[in-house]
């Protein structure tokens, strides 16, 4: 399916409403989420190799989105030249965070409805599930059987999603009814996998599938993502979803914001291109000193760390007493780390607490792992959980912006 750049820019005018969404956020539904750390070894220490692998998969995911954007719009994504190809990622449903980069919970699909767990990922745009005819790579997951759903229809198209480890998720595209937090998206496009990559096998990936929450222009299917479908079909009156990440009481809120969880006004980062939830931050500061200024950033709930290029990340750690380069884009910090670090958006500085910046003791070391990581060839930033745990974050599809507010 082809979308001209003009169509992409004009795709969602019906989503814009006159009143700010904060005044219309009472009709949403929250989904509780809980946190679990999975990049640690049996002794509870941080496995640096797993952390590095996670960064590689994140960038592979971003690159795949760039390819889908160009296929769908006929134009290269503005940030694509800034990434070298050689850099190879409701209702009371319980969500869990695995590897501190995976927030997953229940949706239902089909008629009669069957429950599946999916990773909610703002860094991608498609939904896929393991199919009933999937090979042994899908063992341990709940399988989707199109023949058992009266609302399922074969879309007559294949799909293949490539990952940084050289493996793929591939299969057939279908449409069916998908229910998220009690809201129904009918004739929703989804991928039904016949093969899972190693990273999505049950011992590595506890969710059954993945539900992308980016823009349609990133869809490898060239189809509307689930949340956008909920809005266009009138299921969600407020085109906003929000995340609150904490040690307890975390939630994904569909259809607005939960005003009990934040205080004060939102600070908005305008989305520069409808694809990723991407915009500009003003600066990153360490101990009150600006290390560098205005840069592009993708806000990605599917990423653990805050990721930048090696030179910029090194400049940050140079300002942190006792930090050491552990190699492979990872730095260690002292156990008693308490250096103030903040990211400023639109004139508002949001501090990253020492407890979220410190990922824990590094395996084989007496030091801890720092929350910023690096990848060569990356010329923009990917802002993940290390930052997002410190703010309440609203993704506003109607006004094309990401809002950050201070936690209550």
| pLDDT at residue 73, rounded to an integer | 96
Nearest CA to 327 among 284, 369, 387? 369
Report pLDDT for 32: 55
User: Of residues 364 and 2, which shows the higher confidence score?
Assistant: 364
pLDDT at 19: 33
Residues β-bridged to residue 169: 161
Predicted confidence band at 393 (pLDDT cuts at 50, 70, 90)?
Answer: very high
Task: Find out whether 110 and 149 touch, Cβ atoms under 8 Å.
Answer: yes
Q: Does 63 score more than 50 pLDDT? A: yes
**C-beta atoms surrounding 388 within 10 Å:** 23
What confidence tier does 167 reach under pLDDT thresholds 50, 70, 90?
A: low
Whether 300 is catalytic:
yes
Q: What is the mean pLDDT of the chain?
A: 86
Residue 242, pLDDT above cutoff 60: yes
d(CA 334, CA 371): 12
The reply to whether the predicted model has a pTM over 0.95 is no
Alpha-carbon span 353 to 10, nearest angstrom: 39
- Would you call 121 a catalytic residue per the annotation? yes
- Tell me, what's the pLDDT at 376? 82
Predicted local distance difference test score (pLDDT) of residue 225: 98
CB 398 within 8 A of CB 17: yes
Indicate the range of 3-12, 128-137, 233-242, 246-255 predicted with least confidence: 3-12
Q: What is the pLDDT of residue 143?
A: 97
Residues 97/251, Cβ–Cβ less than 8 Å: no
Query: CA torsion, points 9, 12, 18, 22, in degrees to nearest 10?
Result: -100
Alpha helices in 213-333 (DSSP H): 226-232, 310-317
CB within 8 Å of 112: residues ≥ 6 apart: 149
Tokens 């992308």 belong to residue: 212
pLDDT tens profile 6-52: 333 333 333 333 233 343 334 678 775 544 455 666 667 888 888 88
**Strand 114-121 and strand 209-212: pairing?**
parallel
Per residue in 201-219, pLDDT (tens digit) is 887 778 899 999 999 999 9
Position 103 pLDDT exceeds 50: yes
Q: What is the pLDDT of residues 259-304, one digit of tens each?
A: 999 999 999 999 999 999 999 999 999 999 999 899 999 999 988 8
In degrees to the nearest 10, what's the CA dihedral of 227, 230, 236, 240? Answer: 20
Place of tokens 């809120």: 253
- Tokens for 275? 């694809």
Does the pLDDT of residue 335 top 50, yes or no?
Answer: yes
pLDDT of 153 above 70: yes
- Domain at 259-407: CATH architecture: Beta Barrel (2.40)
28-254 in CATH: which number?
2.40.70.10
Q: Which of 126, 300, 309, 385 is catalytic?
A: 300
Domain boundaries, the chain: 28-254, 259-407
Taking the mean position of all CA atoms in its chain, how far away is CA 219?
Answer: 14
Contact 393, 243 (CB under 8 A): yes
Determine the pLDDT at residue 13.
34
Distance linking the first and last C-alpha atoms of the chain: 44
Q: Quick one: residue 328, left, alpha or beta (phi over 0 = left, psi -120 to 50 = alpha)?
A: left
Beta bridge pairs of residue 307: 373, 382
Count, in order, helices (H) and strands (E) of the chain: 6, 26
* Confidence (pLDDT) at 23: 35
How many angstroms separate the CA atoms of 259 and 355, rounded?
24
Q: What pLDDT was estimated at residue 312?
A: 95
Q: Which of 320, 326, 387 is nearest to 351 (CA)?
A: 387
- Same fold? 28-254, 259-407: yes
- Compute CA distances 341 → 107, 165, 352, whole Å: 37, 33, 6
Choose the catalytic residue: 47, 98, 121, 126: 121
């Amino acid at each position: 399916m082809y979308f001209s750049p003009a169509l992409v820019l004009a795709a969602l005018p019906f989503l814009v409403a006159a009143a700010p969404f904060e005044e219309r956020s009472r009709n949403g539904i929250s989904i509780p989420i809980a946190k679990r750390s999975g990049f640690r070894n049996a002794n509870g220490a941080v496995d640096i190799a797993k952390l590095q692998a996670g960064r590689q998969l994140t960038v592979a995911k971003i690159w795949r989105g760039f390819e889908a954007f160009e296929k769908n719009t006929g134009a290269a994504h503005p940030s694509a030249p800034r990434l070298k190809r050689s850099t190879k990622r409701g209702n009371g449903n319980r969500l869990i965070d695995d590897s501190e980069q995976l927030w997953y919970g229940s949706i239902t699909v089909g008629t009669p409805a069957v429950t599946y767990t999916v990773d909610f990922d703002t860094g991608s745009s498609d939904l896929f599930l393991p199919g009933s005819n999937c090979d042994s790579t899908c063992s341990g997951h709940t399988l989707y059987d199109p023949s058992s759903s009266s609302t399922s229809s074969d879309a007559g198209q294949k799909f293949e999603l490539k990952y940084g480890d050289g493996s793929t998720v591939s299969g057939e595209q279908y449409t069916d009814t998908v229910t998220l937090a009690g809201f129904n998206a009918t004739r929703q496009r989804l991928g039904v996998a016949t093969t899972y990559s190693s990273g999505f096998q049950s011992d590595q990936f506890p969710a059954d599938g993945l539900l992308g929450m980016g823009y349609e222009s990133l869809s490898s299917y060239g189809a509307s993502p689930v949340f956008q479908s909920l809005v266009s079909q009138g299921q969600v009156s407020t085109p906003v979803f929000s995340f609150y990440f904490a040690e307890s009481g975390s939630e994904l809120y569909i259809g607005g914001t939960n005003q009990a969880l934040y205080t004060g006004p939102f600070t908005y980062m305008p989305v520069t291109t409808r694809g990723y939830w991407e915009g500009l931050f003003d600066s990153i500061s360490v101990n009150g000193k600006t290390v560098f200024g205005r840069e592009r950033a993708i806000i990605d709930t599917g990423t653990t760390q805050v990721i930048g290029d090696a030179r910029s990340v090194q400049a940050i750690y140079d300002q942190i007493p006792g930090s050491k380069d552990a190699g492979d884009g990872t730095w260690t910090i002292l156990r008693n780390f308490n250096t103030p670090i903040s990211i400023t958006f639109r004139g508002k500085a949001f501090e990253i607490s020492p407890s979220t910046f410190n990922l824990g003791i590094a395996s084989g070391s007496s030091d801890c792992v720092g929350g910023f990581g690096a990848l060569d060839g990356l010329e923009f930033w990917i802002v993940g959980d290390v930052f997002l745990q410190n703010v309440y974050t609203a993704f506003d599809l109607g006004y094309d912006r990401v809002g950050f507010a201070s936690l209550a």
